[in-house]
Amino acid sequence: MREMTYCMECGKELPEDAKYCSQCGAPVKVSEWEEFQTSTDDLIRRVKELVREGNVTRIIIRNEKGETMFEIPVTVGVIGALFAPYLAALGAIAALVTRCTVAVERRQ
Ligand SMILES: [Zn+2]
């Protein structure tokens, strides 16, 4: 799966590391990250809420050591039918650890 971002000005799909839009030349804005800790009992509910918020572009689940366990690129497809396999994977993570850190990338 290729990581993509979108131009905030014209909406063109761009490579994740793009600094400027190849179509309109607008600088690509840096997205905002926030992190919170949660118990894995709550993890699936929190992730579902984030996906519904609509401006979230990526969700990363880290364990207590700060190691990335799972990454969800929140695309239109993921919000729809493709979300179920991610929820199954989150369930597997919840069985392994009791607390985790959720890092959320938001489109501004
Ligand atoms: Zn553009």
Neighbours of 86 (CB within 10 A): 19
- Are both 25 and 51 inside the same structural domain? no
Distance 46 CA to ligand 1 centre (A): 32
If asked whether residues 44 and 17 sit together in one domain, one would say no
Q: Please report which confidence band the pLDDT of residue 1 belongs to, taking 50, 70 and 90 as the band edges.
A: very low
Measured in angstroms, how far is the CA atom of residue 28 from the centroid of ligand 1?
A: 8
pLDDT at 71: 92
Number of domains in the chain: 2
Nearest to 29 by CA among 49, 1, 52, 55: 55
| Single pTM value for the model | 0.69
CA of 31 to the centre of ligand 1 (A): 16
| Residues 17 and 48 grouped into a single domain | no
Q: Do 17 and 58 share a domain, yes or no?
A: no
What sign for the dihedral angle of Cα 37, 41, 45, 51? positive
Same domain flag for 46 and 96: yes
Tell me which amino acid residue 70 is: F
Determine the structural domain holding residue 21 and report its residue range.
1-29
Find the 10 Cα to ligand 1 centroid distance in Å.
Answer: 4
Whether the CA torsion 49, 71, 79, 97 is positive or negative: it is: negative
Residue that the structure tokens 């489109």 belong to: 107
93 and 69 in a single domain? The answer is: yes
Digit-coded pLDDT (tens) for 16-71: 888 899 999 998 876 788 999 999 889 999 999 998 888 898 999 999 899 999 99
